[in-house]
Amino acid sequence: MAGFYKCSYKDANGNQKYMASSQMEPTDCRRAFPCFDEPSLKAEYTVTLIADKDMTCLSNMDVASETEVKSTMVSHPRKAVKFNKSPLMSTYLVAFIVGHLNYIETKAFRVPIRVYATPDQNIEHGRFSLDLAAKTLAFYEKAFNNEYPLPKMDMVAVPDFAAGAMENWGLVTYRIVDVLYDEKTTGAATKERIAETVQHELAHQWFGNLVTMDFWDGLWLNEGFATWMSWYSCNVFYPEWNVWQTYVIDNLQQALSLDSLRSSHPIEVPVKRADEITQIFDAISYSKGSAVLRMISKYMGEEKFLEGVKAYIKKHAYGNTTTSDLWAALSEASGKPIDKVMDIWTKQVGFPVLTVKENKGNSSITVQQNRFLRTGDVKAEDDKTLYPVVLALKGSDGIDQSAVLSQRSEEIKVNLDFYKLNADHSSLFRTCYTPERLEKLGEDAKAGRLTVEDKAGMIADAGVLAASGYQKTSGSLSLLKAFDQENEFVVWNEILTRLGSIRGAWMFEDEETKTALKTFQRNLVSQKAHELGWTFSDKDGHVLQQYKALMFSAAGSAGDEKVVAAATEMFKKFSEGDYDAIHPNIRGSVFDIALRNGGEKEWQTVFDRYKNAPTSAEKNTALRCLGSCEKPEIVQKTLDLTLSEEVRIQDIYMPMSGLRSHSAGILARWKWLQDNWEPLTKRLPPAFSMLGSVIQIACASLSTESQLKEVEEFFKDKDHKGYDRSLEQSLDSIRAKAGWLSRDRGDVESWLKTNGFKA
């Protein structure tokens, strides 16, 4: 799935059909034609494609001419489609599509916009993305004060596609599930992901395509900006979705999670080989990059930030830039020394934990910063960087965005009755409060003094600090317990993420302890799940739908009898052919519950739906859930499916990820990776980064010292080229969990006993 490659799909009669698509980023344009395959070596392209007359041919530009040509290869006439010359652009943005395609079109924007798909797809499912694209391009033109420069915009659903989407200038390609949306059979979470994906790729038409990083060490200028803009524009179009609240538990936590490993890398990371480039398309370039921009926008003020962005685009249109060019534009717009505040954030790895000590005698706090590592073993050589930390200090009189901690420690005057660092969690750090202050903040949360972002971020910090040894896990569990009356979806999402982390790390502990943690979860969520219910109506808002689905899933996975009974009844009707018996918002949860409590029959029902579901979204849900059954023979059946022709190579992760919920699946998929190493390396060349992702999934839920040694031993004699970062990050993650268990095994057991969850 690199360069100019072949994709397959099946027509209405089940016959195998083909189309050709392209994926040039980062360095695969050279696979399609000879070129200087570097982002700074821009050129104008005049493309001609020769194909059968009944096929659609697409490229970055609009069609200049179409003529019939004779072929020496086939007897029937063919056509040569010539496209108009492109603007100056990088090789990685060149794109070609050839195949039998249907399309829908809108002229709601200044230039025509189309969504294309193969005949096996319902092209009307592209309507949501099409209409959104028209609004988004118009919005971006105004936001950037710069017109979209191409004469058309095509968006294509591609059957075989390794990435989620690709921003080729004027010809954006997507996985089917990331651009086609059926509102009758697809849940609210998928709609939100599609919106953010479409807006991300369209933001690239300016950030990346019009203004391009000079080399791949500046990848974040493309991906960080496109990520930030997608959330920004999504919030403008759908304010009721509260996406900036979700950002705190999504993108921000992804960034902090990866960057808390010793094997992380700076946002601006030197790359010397092509296979190194693919490995930095990760949470650092995307999520941390966008988090830095979010921090800057808060520090500068959004209006000044966008003013600087406009100047940056205007000055560097059709050219290449480095991070210093961005800092210069933002500094000029704001009058602030942006480079001095922000340069370290892109050039240095990691972020700090701020330890807070309270000085009641003079109503102040002493804040000290140190590098944060998930393994909790920070050495002197790890802790040399002093980050310029935007404190975002919240008090009773508002938020101070101007205060920056640039030294090791500082004393700050505050009103000790109420204060909180990192308001709305807009900055990149964890905060380690005293247990007394954490308890007080819990009271502040109940009193309504904290925002949703504050509450979710505080829960995230407490959970991660416990996992890394800064605090005790019993304190984190008590904090979660104190939020049992919480009413916000995003906060509950983070509560369950942190509880899931504990249950995951304790996966290989004794059954009594695991059962006790499960019982705690059930006690925590059941009442709220029952209150919300699991029926959905048109009156339910976007967030309420996801809230209901979250609590239903959490209660079901914890064995709540009412939820399990309801899911069992829905699944029974579904298996008898009533496919509307399960609402799309809880389809995955019902499949999961049925498979956890079932066997061969239930597995076959879900597998049949995977093969026959009318949409890619439903197929993917079924495929991900197949691993939920922990019976050994079913686990093996799921793993055998992974490398079979039944699963597209792009979807290999899905059945693997479903095995993470039980120890049998976790151990089996690690063994499967070892047993299938040779075929995996052949099917997933390291340069495509897919092998690294498979390694990370296979190792993701391992958590003991013996498992760590086993992974190290297996890879000891392997060539790590192309997946070295993925492997080191996997090993770091296992080390962190093993250390957590060693420190807090007794602490958790004591808490469970004290609170009546374990005898």
For the segment 427-433, the average pLDDT, to the nearest whole number, is: 98
Give the separation between CA 401 and CA 393, rounded to whole angstroms. Answer: 7
At 272 the pLDDT is: 86
Query: What is the structure's pLDDT at 401?
Result: 86
Report residue 188's pLDDT band, with 50, 70 and 90 as the boundaries: very high
What DSSP assignment string belongs to 585-636? GGHHHHHHHHHHT--HHHHHHHHHHHHH-SSHHHHHHHHHHGGG---HHHHH
Q: Is 618 exposed, middle or buried (0-12, 13-18, 19+ CB in 10 A)?
A: buried
- Of residues 484, 431, 480, 485, the one with CA closest to residue 459: 480
For residue 658 the two structure tokens come to 């479903």
201 is catalytic: yes
- Predicted TM-score (pTM) of the model is 0.96
Residue 441 reports pLDDT greater than 90? yes
Closest CA to 402 of 415, 414, 416, 388: 388
Confidence band (pLDDT; 50, 70, 90) for 74?
confident
Tell me the percentage of the chain whose pLDDT exceeds 70: 100
> Directed axis angle between helix 127-144 and helix 188-203, to 10°?
40
Q: Which two tokens stand for residue 725?
A: 């970062």
pLDDT of residue 686: 64
Residues 369 and 427: beta-carbon distance below 8 Å: no
- So what's the pLDDT on residue 73? 83
Given this model, what pLDDT does residue 71 score?
83
Return contacts of 516-521, CB within 8 angstroms, 24+ apart: 516/752, 516/757, 516/758, 517/748, 517/752, 517/757, 518/558, 518/559, 519/558, 519/757, 520/477, 520/481, 520/752, 520/755, 520/757, 521/496, 521/554, 521/557, 521/558
Could you tell me the CA-to-CA distances from 450 to 446, 463, 609, 663 in Å, in that order?
A: 8, 18, 44, 38
Express the helix, strand and coil content of the chain in percent, nearest 5 each: 55, 15, 35
Mean pLDDT of 261-268: 96
Tokens 């033109």 correspond to what residue? 141
Domain positions in the chain: 352-499
pLDDT at position 379 is 95
Q: Is 200 annotated as a binding residue?
A: yes
pLDDT (0 to 100) of residue 75: 81
List 25, 167, 192, 201, catalytic entry = 201
Average model confidence (pLDDT) for the chain?
96
Residues 503, 661 contacting (CB under 8 angstroms): no
pLDDT tens track for 511-525: 999 999 999 999 999
CATH topology of domain 352-499: Immunoglobulin-like (2.60.40)
662 is in an annotated binding site: no
26 pLDDT band, cuts 50/70/90, is very high
Distance CA 725, CA 721 (A): 9
Predicted pLDDT at 138: 98
Would the annotation count 411 as a binding residue? no
Arithmetic mean of pLDDT, 608-623: 96
User: For the stretch 546-557, what's the b/e string if a residue is b when 16 or more beta carbons lie within 10 angstroms of its beta carbon?
Assistant: bbbbbbbbbbbb
Residue 688 pLDDT: 64
Radius of gyration (C-alpha) of the chain in whole angstroms: 26
